[in-house]
Amino acid sequence: MAKRKSSPTMKDVAREANVAVGTVSKVINGIPVGKEYRLRVEEAIRKLNYRVNIYAQGMRSERTRIIQVVVPNLLNPFFAMLVHYTANELARRKYKTMLCTTDGDPDLEQSHILMAEQQMADGIICLSYSPSLRAPEGIPMVSIDRYFGARIPCVSSDNYGGGHLAAEKLMENGCRRLAFLRIGTSLASETNKRKDGFVSACEEHGVPYTLKLADDGTPYSVFEEFLREHARGGTLDFDGIFCVTDALACRIRTILQDMGFRVPEDVQIVGFDGVRDFGNMALPCSTIVQPLERIAETCVDLVLDGCLEKAPSLVCLPVSYAYGGTTRA
Amino acid sequence: MAKRKSSPTMKDVAREANVAVGTVSKVINGIPVGKEYRLRVEEAIRKLNYRVNIYAQGMRSERTRIIQVVVPNLLNPFFAMLVHYTANELARRKYKTMLCTTDGDPDLEQSHILMAEQQMADGIICLSYSPSLRAPEGIPMVSIDRYFGARIPCVSSDNYGGGHLAAEKLMENGCRRLAFLRIGTSLASETNKRKDGFVSACEEHGVPYTLKLADDGTPYSVFEEFLREHARGGTLDFDGIFCVTDALACRIRTILQDMGFRVPEDVQIVGFDGVRDFGNMALPCSTIVQPLERIAETCVDLVLDGCLEKAPSLVCLPVSYAYGGTTRA
C-alpha cells in the first residue's frame, strides 16, 4: 500500500538533516547555528521541499518581525545612509526592513501607516515632514527629526548644539560677520533648531549675523540674489556662512566661486549632515556630522522596545565638527 | 439581551462608510479610489477597529505582494538610486519592497534567498557578486549586472557599448593615448564588458591603450603608483583615462591633480554610472550614464511577470554620454 504523501513537517526536516528539531527552528528563524548545521538543514529543506508558511506562523504569533522604514527618497545620500544603517541594525536583531519611499507625498505616507496597522508590520520608523500625519494605532512608531507628540518618540541629532557648534567653529576660524542660509520646511521640525543654536552662539559672542530662510521648493536663485545683494562693491558682507545641509553648502560654494570669491580664503562655509562623496570618500565640505549609526540604532531600540509610553519623547544625539576644505581648519 | 460582539467584517466597514464592499476592498488592497471614498473607508476602519490580517489573506492567496531587493549597501549612491527607483516602481504596481542589505556577505545573501523560498516574498531582485550564489527554487529571481544562467534573467546597462562610447568620446576630444582603470570583481560579471568595449574601440581606431586592473579590496595607492610610473619626466603617458566607475574617476582626478596635472587640460577622464552629487545636483565627472530608472522598471517587469522560462537571459539597456567637467566637452 502506497504511503499517503503529506506536507513535510519540521520533524521530517530534522530527521533528514540528522539534527535536533530546535536546530531546524533556529535556522528557519534566522538564529545563528554552526555553518555545517545550517547547510545540512537548508539542504534537507530543499530536498523535502519543506515550506514554513510565514502566514501560519504569523497567524499564531501575530507578529511579522517586519519594521516599516518610511523616508522621502534614497536619492538624497543622507536618507540613503540612514536607511542603510537602520536596515543593518534591524537585520542584526533578526528583523526585516520594509522600505517605503514616499517622495514626501502625505497621502502615500498615510497609506503606509494604515498598512502597518493592518498587521503588515510590528512597527514604523518614519521620516516625514507632513504636517497632518496621523500616528498609527496599536503599532509603535518612532519619528526621525520631527516631533509629533508625546506618544511618538522623536530621534534626532542635537540640532541646536550643532547650529551652536557651527557658529563657534566659524568664529574660531576668524569669522566676524556670519550668515545662516536655510532651505527646507518652515514646520516646527527638529532641523529648525539649527538656526536657533546658531543665533544663540552669535549673540553670546556679540557677532553680527544675517538669516536667509527659504521654504522647500524655492529655487536656489534666491540665495544667489541674496549673496549678490550682500556683495556690492566687490566685498561680501559675511566672512562665514552656515548652511542648513551639506547639499546647500556645496551649492553656495559654487555660487560664491562663480561670483569670484575664494573659499575658504574670502569666505568660509560650514554645512550640516556629514555625508561623504560616494558614501565613503571625502567630505564635500566642512560640516557638522550627524551620528547616523547611533540615530539608526536608537530608532531600532525604541521601536522594538514597544513600551513607547515609557519612552522619552525626544532623544538628541551628539554631533561633531569635521573639516572638509571649506573652512581654514 | 446584549448583542455578542464579534470581529468587524468588510461588510461592516462598507456599511459604516456608506460605500460598496468593493470600494473597501480596493482601499485595503491599495487600489486607487476617489480620495473622499478612501478617507471615509479609512475612518470606518479606525472606528470599527477593523483588521485585515494579512496572514489570513496570505493563507488564501499564497502571495505576499512583497519583492525582496538584495543589494550590498546603500552607502554607494549607485545602489541607493537603483533601490530608490525599484521601490518606486514596485509601489506603483502595488507591491512592497523588502530591503536586504548584505555588505556583499555571501552567507547573508543566501539566507535572504532562503527566506524568500519560505514564502516570505513573491520574487527577488538581486545585485550580488557572490560566485557561489544558489538561485531560489519556486520563486522568480532577476539579477542585476551579473549573469547566473539561463533561468535567471540578468538586467544591466549596455556595458560593452558604454566602454566603447567612453573610448570614442575621449578620442573625439583629442586624446591619442588611452588608459582603462578598474577596481572590482574579477568574476565574469557584466561590468567587465566595459573593458572589452573600450579595448575594441581603441583597436578599431588604432589608438594605443594601457589597462590597469585591480581586484576588490586593493588599496587605491596601486593606481597612484601606476600613474607615477607612467609620469616619469613630468609628462603623463596618457591623455585620456576611462575609469570603471564615477567613484574611481573622482579618486583618479584627485590623485592626478595632487601630482600637478590639470584635468581636463593635460588629461581627460570619463567615469561610468552617472550618479549625481546629493542625488540631484551636478555630475562629479564626465561619465557614461546608466539608465537606472529603466533598469529598475525592467527588473520589476521581469520579476512580476513570473514566466521566467520565457524571459530573455540578458537584457542590456542603452547608456549615454554626459559631460561633467573632466573632459573638454
| CB-CB under 8 Å, A53 with B111 | no
Given an 8 Å threshold on Cβ–Cβ distance, is A51 in contact with B81?
Answer: no
Which residues of chain B form beta strands (DSSP E)? 66-71, 96-101, 123-126, 141-144, 154-157, 178-184, 209-215, 240-243, 268-273, 287-289, 314-317, 320-322
Instruction: Indicate the helix (H) or strand (E) that contains A101.
Output: strand A96-101
d(CA B13, CA B28): 11
pLDDT at B178: 98
Structural Rg of chain A based on CA atoms:
25
Q: Taking every pair of C-alpha atoms in chain B, what is the biggest distance, in angstroms?
A: 102
Q: Do B91 and A101 touch (CB under 8 A)?
A: yes
**Is B155 a residue whose pLDDT tops 90?**
yes
User: How far is residue B241's CA from residue B249's CA, in Å, rounded to a whole number?
Assistant: 8
Say if A220 falls within a structural domain: yes
Nearest CA in chain B to A102: B88
Q: Do B188 and B266 lie in a common domain?
A: yes
CB B202 within 8 A of CB B238: no
Cα B3 to the center of its chain, rounded Å? 56
Residues B301 and B152 in one domain: yes
- A116 touches A133 (CB < 8 A): no
B171 and B76 fall within a common domain = no
Q: Which residues contact A40 (CB under 8 A, 6 or more apart)?
A: A17, A18, A19
Task: Identify the closest residue of chain A to B27 by CA–CA distance.
Answer: A111
| DSSP, res B133 | P
Same domain, A164 and A148: no
Domain-located, residue A5: no
- How far off is chain B from A173, nearest CA to CA, in Å? 25
Q: What is the pTM of this model?
A: 0.82
CB contact (8 A) between residue A118 and residue B58 = no
Angstrom distance (rounded) from CA B254 to CA B258: 6
Residues of chain B positioned with their CB less than 8 A from the CB of A66:
98
- A128 within a domain of the structure (yes/no): yes
**Cβ-contact A31, A94 below 8 angstroms:** yes
How does pLDDT run along chain A (329 residues), one tens digit per residue?
344 356 677 888 899 999 998 888 888 766 778 888 888 888 888 888 776 655 555 555 567 889 999 999 999 999 999 999 999 999 999 899 999 998 888 888 888 888 777 767 889 999 988 777 888 877 899 999 888 877 889 999 999 999 999 999 999 999 999 999 999 876 767 788 999 999 999 999 999 999 999 988 899 899 999 999 999 888 999 999 999 999 999 999 999 999 999 999 999 999 999 999 888 889 999 999 999 999 999 999 999 987 667 788 889 999 999 999 999 99
Residue B159 pLDDT exceeds 90? yes
Residue whose C-alpha cell reads 560579471 in the numeric block: B189
Cα dihedral angle (A133, A293, A84, A156), rounded to 10 degrees? 20
Residue B5 lies in a domain: no
Distance from CA of B203 to the nearest CA of A (A): 32
Domain match, A220 and A186 both: yes
Nearest-CA distance from A85 to chain B in Å?
9
Chain A positions touching B52 (Cβ under 8 A) are 118-119
CB contact under 8 A, B118 and A53: yes
CA distance A91 to chain B (A): 8
Shared domain check, B274 and B184 = yes
| A103 lies in the same domain as A250 | no
CA-based end-to-end distance of chain B: 85
pLDDT tens for each residue of A155-196: 999 999 999 999 999 999 999 999 999 998 767 677 889 999
- Identity at A262, one-letter amino acid code: R
CA of B74: how far to CAs of A279, B84, B99, B152, in Å?
8, 10, 10, 24
Report CB contact under 8 Å: A277, B278.
no
Q: Give the C-alpha distances (Å, rounded to integers) separating A284 from A245, A272, A289, A322, B27.
A: 11, 11, 12, 11, 45
Give residue B284's domain range.
159-291
For chain A, give the longest Cα–Cα distance.
102
Residue A259 included in any domain: yes
Number of domains making up chain A: 3
H/E run at residue B1: none
* DSSP string across A210-245: EEEEEETT--THHHHHHHHHTTGGGS-S-SEEEESS
Within this chain, do residues B191 and B277 fall inside the same structural domain, yes or no? yes
**Distance between CA atoms of residues A127 and B95, nearest Å:** 21
* Bridge partners, residue B314, by sequence: B154
Q: Which residues of chain B neighbour A284 with C-beta distances below 8 Å?
A: 277
Look at strands A96-101 and B96-101 and give their pairing: antiparallel
Q: Does the ipTM exceed 0.90? A: no
Looking at the structure, do residues B212 and B148 belong to the same domain, yes or no?
Answer: no
Q: Where are the alpha helices (DSSP H) in chain A?
A: 10-17, 21-28, 35-48, 54-61, 77-92, 106-115, 159-172, 193-204, 221-229, 246-258, 292-305
Contact B37, B68 (CB under 8 A): no
Q: In terms of CA atoms, which chain B residue is nearest residue A111?
A: B30
Look at residue A127 in the predicted model and tell me its pLDDT.
93
Out of A74, A120, A282, closest to residue B54 by CB: A120
CATH number at residue B179: 3.40.50.2300
B285, B249 contact by CB (below 8 A):
yes
Geometric angle at alpha carbon B85, from B81 and B89, rounded to 5°: 170
Which residues on B lie below 8 Å from A281 (Cβ)? 247, 250-251
> Considering the domain boundaries, does residue A328 fall inside one?
no
Residue A166 lies in a domain: yes
Q: What residue of A is the nearest CA neighbor of B47? A: A137
Distance (Å, rounded) from C-alpha A328 to C-alpha A269?
10
Is A91–B101 a contact, with Cβ atoms under 8 angstroms apart? Answer: yes
Residue B230 sits in the same domain as residue B276: yes
So what's the pLDDT on residue B59? 52
Asked if residue B210 and residue B113 are part of one domain, the reply reads no
B61 is a domain residue: no
Residues of A in contact with B69 (CB under 8 A): 99
- Nearest Cβ partner of A119 from B35, B52, B74? B52
User: How many residue contacts between A and B have a Cβ separation below 8 Å?
Assistant: 167
What's the CATH number where B16 sits? 1.10.260.40
Q: What confidence score (pLDDT) does residue A119 get?
A: 66
Same domain? A163 vs A99 = no
DSSP string, B6-49: ----HHHHHHHHTS-HHHHHHHHTT----HHHHHHHHHHHHHHT
Residue of A52, A76, A81 lying closest to B119 (CB–CB): A52
A107, amino acid identity: D
One-character DSSP codes across B295-322: HHHHHHHHHHH--TTTS-SEEEE--EEE
